[in-house]
Amino acid sequence: MGSLGVTIIKRKKYSHFRDKQSLFKVIDEIKDRVNRAYSDLLTELCKGIRGYYQQIPEMPNESGEEVKPKLLVGLSGGVDSSVVTYMAAEAIGAKNVLAITMPARENDESLCFSKLVRDKLGLSDRSVQYVIPISEIVRKEIETINSLEWKGFGINTLTKNQTHMDRMRIGNFASRARIAILYDIARKVNGRLLGTGNRTEFVQGYAAKYGTPISFDFGVLDELYKTDIYELARVLNMPEDIIKSTPSTGYFPGQTHEKELGATWEEQDALAFLLFEKRMGIEEIVKKYKAKREFVKTILKRYKTSKDKRMLRQPHIKLGFIEDRDVQ
């Protein structure tokens, strides 16, 4: 239980590297390749957000008045979206940022963490609806699908009988519902959506096509690994409860990114870095870093089967240490 009264989901232990020192060595390499203090990196990212914001034109509202643009963030309360929200508020001022939370469950852990972020940044304007539940939207979709004459499209809602495909379909629809809501709000307020996806998710295709976290107008964390994002969170002095929370989409109780992907975020970072930034081969990684061959093959398979998602890539902040020659 965290200090906010939220139950912290325990991280499951994985061992895809034969010794921890080899894994830590890669994590250190990831930090070293930034080649600047993380406080300087933070300044550079804020500058990128500010530059993007300043080139968005004002638009007339229904009364003909020019409306200043807003930057929107889908704020889950996790470390990625929280870091982006903090940086956006720093870059352009809290009054120009809308951080919208869209819980999939009534007891979604995101509610507590996202409120904490909004309160700390001064984003809690009572005239704005910052929390938009999507549980009813998802429920209606399932009902509609299950009412079709051809039952082959049905989704099982009984947790104990649900297949992996059932859960995947529910999660993907919820992800797309969140994007639909954000773009609907963006249209009303002359807004643009900031991306919160990171490098490790990108190369694995860990996203719903046309959903979170791969659909946005301008990406902020695209060239950063989870390792980098945690370092930025500490520079920003974010609450420890958020930093220590286990990454989750919140679609199901106890669901975590690590559980779905079968590896810790450190292990995923390491392989994404070695395969797609250092351009190392399987055997070289296995020999030099003592990674298990099957794990390396799993990451490569995810990469190869998710190319269609990466084809949707939007403009993002470029930091100069990643060259995506063929990472598509």
**Domains assigned to the chain:** 36-255 (3.40.50.620)
Q: What is the pLDDT of residue 199?
A: 96
pTM: 0.91
What stretches in the chain show pLDDT beneath 50? 1, 6-9, 328
Q: What is the pLDDT of residue 125?
A: 75
Q: What is the pLDDT of residue 328?
A: 46
Task: Please state, in angstroms and rounded to a whole number, the distance separating the CA atoms of residues 290 and 308.
Answer: 31
Q: What is the pLDDT of residue 13?
A: 67
Angle (nearest 5°) at CA 50 between 126 and 113: 40
Residue 213, preceding peptide bond in cis (omega within 30° of 0): yes
Q: What is the pLDDT of residue 7?
A: 47
Q: What is the pLDDT of residue 119?
A: 92
Q: What is the pLDDT of residues 117-151, one digit of tens each?
A: 999 999 877 767 899 999 999 999 999 999 998 87
Of 2, 40, 22, 69, the C-alpha closest to 286 is 22
Q: What is the pLDDT of residue 74?
A: 97
